Structure 1
Amino acid sequence: MSTPNKILCVEPTTNPQESLRAELEKRGYIISTLSNERSALERIEAESIQVIIINALGMVQRGKEICRTLRWRGVDQPILLLLPEGNKSSPDMQADMVLVKPFTIRKVVNRIKKLVAEPRIHLLQVGDIQLNRRIRLVRHGDGPLQKLTPKQAKLLETLMLHPGEVLTRRFLMKQVWQTDYLGDTRTLDVHIRWVREKIEPHPSDPIYVITKRGVGYLFAVLEDEPLNDDRDR
């Protein structure tokens, strides 16, 4: 017998949508309803939650704030954000899916099913560095989450997908900027510096993103043998 999916519904309102809860419970979901991000974080830490619904139908801005706060606090579970009519979805909301009224309960259920079935291939970890490719957040060990721009995230992802391998400037420019032009790679160097500032304990003396002079860059696996000290400081 399969384990019922647990859903956390965060509703920052004094009038929670009991009809939504009732319909989801009819379909076999286990629902917990809370009103703020602090309680939600405690519940997420204590239980295995499959999907988070943020019901912002009554308090739009508050709902969006809760969604962003959960992401910045490292919550990785898929989030479904419900918005009232007249609103639009935008990437800064940090939700995996957004539904804008009018919508049916069936549509909500279909979105939940899709989120539950989605593989968590967006998480990438090499050593102490963990990158969430979906929401572009990176963390070094137990340190704070750092937000990356799209190019920074793509550059770090490319390096992390080839740990211990020297990647040429041409390869990185092609992967991140979709160009073969090597007349000026200062853009690459600047982005490398920005990435180091997000993940390195001491960006001026990097231990993860290593420069290989005349060739390109390498993402170091610290468990490996020490690298030759030919890196640029």
Structure 2
Amino acid sequence: MSQPETTVLVVEDEEAFVEALTVGLKREGFRVQVARDGAEALALFDVVAPDLVLLDVMLPKVSGIDVCREIRTKSKVPIIMVTAKAAEIDTVVGLEVGADDYVTKPYRLRELVARMRAVLRRTPLSEPAVLSGESMTVGDVTIDPEGHEVVVRGEPVSLPLKEFELLCLLIENAGRVLPRETLIDRVWGLDYVGDTKTLDVHVKRLRSKVEVDPSHPTRIVTIRGLGYKYEVPRA
């Protein structure tokens, strides 16, 4: 059971979902604050200082994507995006701007609560070991874990936190096949219960930034049935 001091900011404009979530989450031991549009969410965020944000994508005034982007400029609080669409673009954009996980409507309260508890448990460990150490260079990609800097073919590239953590892990183990389960455990935590497609979305985003031709990747390669490997260029 979650502790009473755990505060969730629910950002949702559909009243039926608001009522059901408020009742269900309070029953699970969460303190619930509700914002019914994006502007109210940003105003409440500073006042409430929530432990987790449950954020709908489609909102009046300010979109959920823009709310997430704004929150990420000042906080690493866990954010779970909620979308009524199963389209990959919603997932990609949400994760790109810093969401920790996503769920698609309609969802079961039990699944939602499990994901909420998972991101809350791993929040204190959100800075993994791969984010410390000296700069690493493999081929034309250099990554500085301590400075959170990436240079690709001489040009600096900005990466969201999870993409950065994933690239660190891949480059740190360049030439080795990393199973999907290992990547998920190391980047998202041992208790991650979300969709495993989250890993594939992040890999796709990374390829768009480090590959010469993302449609034919030669750096971050898929090892069918196992996972991914960061190829070491031949001398």
With normalisation by structure 2, the TM-score equals 0.49
Higher relative contact order (CA 8 A, sep 6+): 2
The answer to which structure has the higher helix fraction is 2
Decide which structure has the larger Cα Rg and report it.
1
